[in-house]
Amino acid sequence: MKKRKLGDLEVSAVGYGCMGLSYGYGPATDRTEGISLIRAAAGRGVTIFDTAEAYGPFTNEELVGEALAPIREQVIIATKFGWDIDPETGERRPGLNSRPEHIKAATEGMLRRLKTDHIDLLYQHRVDPEVPIEDVAGTMKDLIAEGKVIYYGLSEAGAQTIRRAHAVHPLAAIQSEYSIWTRDPEAEVLPTCEELGIGFVPWSPLGQGFLTGKIDAATTFESSDFRAVFPRFTPEAREANLALVEVLKQIAGRKHATPAQVALAWLLAQKPWIIPIPGTTKLHRLDENLGAVGVELTPQDLRDIETSFAKIPVEGARLPEQILRYSNR
């Protein structure tokens, strides 16, 4: 597995997003199967595993902690705080909470669940408008000084917030949704990351599965699957957006690859400090995703993709409004 850097942190070129094993995409995966899949990813050279206290809440961190405990020193664990979740009970209250005392309490819970004495990369999951980002960054600086956190990151933050936080303590990574059909970070966030030497971690690099080519207008989603209420996943939007997948299929045919591999290879080709974190619940999909590292897109391939995608408007917002309002602050 090739390596890349998030700031000073070296990780595998493709990571593993663990959320879907227990949250967000329908019923949770069997615990034994989830542990086996996480360990299989590590065995194939993946070194960065992404989770969050909100995934469950708590259940995903517990799964990741158990799976990686035997190989803890060989991997990088990234997790997130920021929603208003009771650190003891897991009760989820409306809105955000990044008050310094809450961050510290949340971190103690994360350390217990992850079965570790340090978190390699800790993100603020969403920027809290009620708490100055300087206070959050200062709290992270304290946790890093104590050895409980090694690297600091932000998720779904805007360029000015990134600059303010970075001035208090250097950021290693920004995590936001980014893929060939979700290009929001390109205008301001990616240039800011490049200027400041911050790595970028695209979540949902396969468009919640749509860019794999395995979803069409007739696909149905469980009520516990986020996509059942996502604007981009209404039957009408899916029907319109299939044109995007057709472009990926055409390029994939030329490269002897799959649409998913082309979508990931496109991200890897954007910048050397971009590390996508696709998730999956299936071993053969894990192997498919990791195979993207070996797919080389030529400058002409990239131009063809850009030209074709520019002609196809994406139908539907990337997230429901009640979630989107917490992004790009």
Domain ranges of the chain: 3-211+267-295
pLDDT in tens, 40-57: 999 999 999 999 999 999
What are the tokens at 171? 């950021």
pLDDT in tens, 129-175: 999 999 999 999 999 999 999 999 999 999 999 999 999 999 999 99
Q: Up-side HSE of residue 30: CA atoms within 13 Å toward CB?
A: 4
> What is the reported pLDDT for 30?
97
What region does 86 belong to: left with phi over 0, alpha with psi -120 to 50, or beta?
Answer: beta
pLDDT in tens, 124-142: 999 999 999 999 999 999 9
> What is the reported pLDDT for 165?
98
> What is the reported pLDDT for 61?
98
Q: Tokens 């995007």 map to which residue?
A: 244
Is residue 188 very low, low, confident or very high in pLDDT (cuts 50, 70, 90)? very high
CA distances from 54 to 10, 84, 100, 224, 246 (A): 26, 9, 18, 15, 34
Is residue 82 very low, low, confident or very high in pLDDT (cuts 50, 70, 90)? very high
Which position among 55, 123, 151, 152 bears the catalytic label? 55
Whether 122 and 142 have beta carbons less than 8 Å apart is answered as: no
Q: DSSP labels for 17-86?
A: E-GGGTSSBSSPPPHHHHHHHHHHHHHTT--EEE--TTTTTTHHHHHHHHHHGGGGGGSEEEEEE-EEE-
Q: What percent of the chain has pLDDT over 90?
A: 100
Whether 40 and 16 have beta carbons less than 8 Å apart is answered as: no
Mean pLDDT over the full length of the chain: 97
**What is the pLDDT averaged over residues 238-258?**
97
Q: Which of 152, 76, 68 is nearest to 113 (CA)?
A: 68
What are the tokens at 41? 């990813």
> What is the reported pLDDT for 125?
98
| pTM, rounded to two decimals | 0.98
> What is the reported pLDDT for 163?
98
CATH superfamily entry for domain 3-211+267-295? NADP-dependent oxidoreductase domain (3.20.20.100)
Q: Report the C-alpha gap between 113 and 20 in whole angstroms.
A: 18
> What is the reported pLDDT for 185?
98
Is residue 189 very low, low, confident or very high in pLDDT (cuts 50, 70, 90)? very high
Side chain identity at residue 280, one-letter code: T
> What is the reported pLDDT for 21?
98
Is residue 268 very low, low, confident or very high in pLDDT (cuts 50, 70, 90)? very high
**What is the pLDDT averaged over residues 294-310?**
96
**What is the pLDDT averaged over residues 257-265?**
98
Q: Report the C-alpha gap between 294 and 258 in whole angstroms.
A: 12
* 294 Cβ contact partners less than 8 Å away, ≥ 6 residues apart: none
Q: What percent of the chain has pLDDT over 70?
A: 100
Whether 300 and 327 have beta carbons less than 8 Å apart is answered as: no
> What is the reported pLDDT for 131?
98
Q: Report the C-alpha gap between 286 and 26 in whole angstroms.
A: 18
> What is the reported pLDDT for 64?
98
Annotation marks residue 55 as catalytic? yes
